[in-house]
Amino acid sequence: MTTDSSHASPLAPEWLALPEDLNALQSPMWAAGVEKNDAGEVAIDGISVKELKEQFGTPLFVMSESDFRSRARAFKDAFDAAFADICGGVDVYYAGKSFLCTAVASWVAEEGLRLDTCSGGELAVAARAGIEGRNLGLHGNNKSDAEINRALDMHVGRIVVDSLDELERVAKIASSRGETAKVMLRLTPGVHAHTHEFIATAHEDQKFGLSMAEDSTEEAGLSAAEEAVAAATSYSSIELLGLHCHIGSQIFEPDGFAVAGEKLLRFLSAMQSKYSIVLPELDLGGGYGIAYTPVDTPRPPAEIAQAMAAVVRSTCAELGIAAPRISIEPGRAIVGSTTFTLYEVGTLKTVRVDAPGGDAEQENVTYPRRYVSVDGGMSDNARPVLYDADYSAILASRSSTAAPQLSRVVGKHCESGDIVVRDVYLPADVAAGDLLAVPGTGAYCWALSSNYNYLARPGVVAVRDGAARLIVRGETEEDLLNRDMGVANV
């Protein structure tokens, strides 16, 4: 096909290159097992998107179970290998908030991972999936008493305490039950990782965690983090397992994890000496980045693991302490790329847009941007609206030899910000009834989905060994009306 550079649009962002082949699936955005079949359709494990649409409708989340399992295992294996001689391996907690249902929870357990939850509802999913309490963690900056009680009922392996206030509440509740709560303290090390850089600040201005800044409490010289360590060791109903931090999300460079890890180890060592305690565990959180567009370059788990292991090894040696047991909490990096969203194209329109940059000579020059509307939108993917997130898309139901045209894939909601893919080249002959596939929608899409405009939330299909099955069914009109108490009820 032609990819004449004259088809490149000046409206496209700098990072978006004209693809060499509009019909090709660009790795690493796609799950293993997704390919173009002989008919030119996107297929997963041999099942074409047309078959999926016929059986399950659109929009639809289409997930590769085998890809999920192998990504989960890859993290576990890579970190176990890198940390084997440091602390005997790593506990990997899958961050359930990225996407959770009972099937996924059971895969996580079967692959030897643990599960991170952050609400009573997520604990309920874990319970229904039969996950053992000792393999669960509970997060959250505002856990209710009911959630703390539920965690204790389920004997969760760790409650990650977020504040001094909460520490006291957990201690009281555990004490009133005559039990001991296993607790980690979530600290904010002042390290913030962004996609391509990290910044370090002394003070934290966010709702999560206990500040490590030395003037973060009224009592001069004592950080909130240290005050919490001191308090935790004084409560007989608290067993302090160790420290935790989570520096951000969609991070590619391992430097931020390394800086935070070193800072927490120094603090851990200081606390062990000062309070004559042993803090046997250290959690370095999640946040590993994935490819949403062709320019994203995620690191293999082994590379991240080795960078983190090097810092833990050298810092512990320098401090002369035994390394704590390390744990991590990847969500997006396990589930994100396992899934694509399948949409059907409806309305199309092309607008003319002024040349970018306000070039005087080009004053009267305009360029076309085509709006391609699909049958979902911000209700099944809120990330573009929430975070300005970029995605990619491909014509999935056929191949095309048409020229590339700069397109914007939008949803069907009453909101002009309802964008699914802000900028993508699609074949110029995309028409109503075509199917589009958007890769990288496994994390924080279904999880953040809504019923805005009374759209039914899509189902999730898992494909394995050439068979597709629903792991979460899509909503029906009856579901949408289920909670409405009706006019007769006033």
CB closer to ligand PLP out of 329 and 380: 329
Beta strands 198-200 and 325-328, pairing class: unpaired
d(CA 328, CA 283): 6
Of 249, 339, 341, 381, the one binding ligand PLP by CB under 6 A? 249
| Only segment of 33-41, 47-55, 226-234, 327-335 that touches ligand PLP (CB under 6 A) | 327-335
Nearest in space to 242 (alpha carbons), one of 144, 324, 358: 324
Q: Is 367 annotated as a binding residue?
A: no
Residue 271 tokens read as 């606390």
Count H helices and E strands in the chain, helices first. Answer: 12, 23
CB closer to ligand PLP out of 44 and 443: 443
d(CA 377, CA 383): 10
CB closer to ligand PLP out of 33 and 330: 330
Q: Is 285 in the site for ligand PLP (CB under 6 A)?
A: yes
Residue 147 tokens read as 């959630």
| Only segment of 123-131, 280-288, 309-317, 381-389 that touches ligand PLP (CB under 6 A) | 280-288
State the minimum distance, in angstroms, from the CB of residue 454 to ligand PLP.
29
Q: Is 330 in the site for ligand PLP (CB under 6 A)?
A: yes
CB closer to ligand PLP out of 43 and 268: 268
Q: Would you tell me how many other CB atoms lie within 10 Å of the CB of residue 306?
A: 17
Which one from 87, 245, 316, 414 is the annotated catalytic residue? Answer: 414
State the minimum distance, in angstroms, from the CB of residue 97 to ligand PLP.
6
> Is 414 among the catalytic positions?
yes
State the minimum distance, in angstroms, from the CB of residue 157 to ligand PLP.
15
Of 331, 427, 439, 442, the one binding ligand PLP by CB under 6 A? 331
CB closer to ligand PLP out of 285 and 459: 285
State the minimum distance, in angstroms, from the CB of residue 226 to ligand PLP.
21
Of 53, 332, 408, 412, the one binding ligand PLP by CB under 6 A? 332
Q: Is 98 in the site for ligand PLP (CB under 6 A)?
A: yes
CB 335 within 8 A of CB 68: yes
State the minimum distance, in angstroms, from the CB of residue 268 to ligand PLP.
18
Q: Is 117 in the site for ligand PLP (CB under 6 A)?
A: no
Q: Is 254 in the site for ligand PLP (CB under 6 A)?
A: no
Crossing angle for the helix pair 224-234 and 255-275, to the nearest 10 degrees: 50
Q: Is 94 annotated as a binding residue?
A: no
Q: Is 134 annotated as a binding residue?
A: no
Nearest in space to 105 (alpha carbons), one of 90, 124, 132, 125: 125
Measured CA distances, 141 to 73, 170, 187, 450 (Å): 29, 13, 12, 23
User: Restricting to residues 431-460, which ones interact with ligand PLP according to CB under 6 A?
Assistant: 443
Q: Kindly tell me the sign of the dihedral angle through the C-alpha atoms of 165, 170, 175, 177.
A: positive
State the minimum distance, in angstroms, from the CB of residue 74 to ligand PLP.
14
Q: Is 332 annotated as a binding residue?
A: yes
Of 53, 139, 408, 412, the one binding ligand PLP by CB under 6 A? 139
d(CA 9, CA 352): 12
Q: What is the full DSSP assignment across 154-177?
A: TT-SEEEE-SHHHHHHHHHHHHHT
d(CA 291, CA 324): 32
Crossing angle for the helix pair 145-153 and 120-128, to the nearest 10 degrees: 20
Where in 295-395 does DSSP place strands (E)? 325-328, 339-354, 366-374, 394-395
Of 50, 71, 76, 97, the one binding ligand PLP by CB under 6 A? 97
DSSP, collapsed to helix, strand or coil, labels residue 300 as coil
CB closer to ligand PLP out of 43 and 228: 228
Q: What is the full DSSP assignment across 440-482?
A: --TTTTSTT---GGGPPPPPEEEEETTEEEEEEPPP-HHHHHT
State the minimum distance, in angstroms, from the CB of residue 209 to ligand PLP.
9
Nearest in space to 335 (alpha carbons), one of 105, 78, 68: 68
Q: Is 329 annotated as a binding residue?
A: yes
Q: Which CB contacts under 8 angstroms, 24+ apart, belong to 363-370?
A: 367/9, 367/10, 367/11, 367/406, 368/9, 368/405, 368/406, 369/9, 369/11, 369/406, 369/407, 369/408, 370/405, 370/406, 370/407, 370/408, 370/426
Total chain residues near ligand PLP (CB under 6 A): 16
Of 33, 261, 286, 427, the one binding ligand PLP by CB under 6 A? 286
d(CA 117, CA 126): 8
Residue with tokens 């809120």: 382
| Only segment of 95-103, 253-261, 339-347, 471-479 that touches ligand PLP (CB under 6 A) | 95-103
CB closer to ligand PLP out of 189 and 474: 189
Q: Is 444 annotated as a binding residue?
A: yes
CB closer to ligand PLP out of 48 and 188: 188
| Only segment of 53-61, 103-111, 147-155, 326-334 that touches ligand PLP (CB under 6 A) | 326-334
Residues annotated within a binding site: 287, 329-332, 383, 387, 415, 444
Residues annotated within a binding site for pyridoxal 5'-phosphate: 287, 329-332, 444
Q: Which residue ranges make up the site for ligand PLP (CB under 6 A)?
A: 95, 97-98, 139, 246, 249, 285-288, 329-333, 443
Residues annotated within a binding site for substrate: 332, 383, 387, 415, 444
Tell me the catalytic residues: 414
